[in-house]
Structure 1
Amino acid sequence: MSAEHGDDKSSPYPPCSECGGTVLAVTVFGPMAAIASPCGCSVSPEIFDGAGRE
């Protein structure tokens, strides 16, 4: 798996729960509907909850 697929443990961005790619942004359409970017997978809007906290 390459770094473009979210295996870089030092990345501040979470991996996509569907494809494993790095998620840079999430477009939220409702309480249960969101699309990850740049991969385009459907993900939970809560994917960034806690991101950046140590």
Structure 2
Amino acid sequence: MSDGAERPADESTPYPPCSECGGTVVAATVLGPMAAIASPCGCVVSPEMFDGAGHE
């Protein structure tokens, strides 16, 4: 659901990059065990991309 306007994730941010478009994901809505909606880009991603996110 990307419109091409997303920018690649900044490596200095604690937020993970979107696995679909590369934009920074600041929140996600989990739809179930296999799908989540990344925000602000709106891409459908796997909730597994958030495993360990923010835990350094």
Does the alignment reach a TM-score above 0.5?
Answer: yes
**Which TM-score bucket, shorter chain as reference?**
0.7 to 0.9
Identity across matched positions, percent: 78
Larger helix share, 1 or 2: 1
Number of residue pairs aligned between Structure 1 and Structure 2? 50
Unaligned runs of 5+ in 1: none
Unaligned runs of 5+ in 2: 1-6
TM-score, normalised on structure 1? 0.82
Larger relative contact order (CA 8 Å, sep ≥ 6): 2
CA RMSD of aligned residues (A): 1.0
TM-score, normalised on structure 2? 0.79
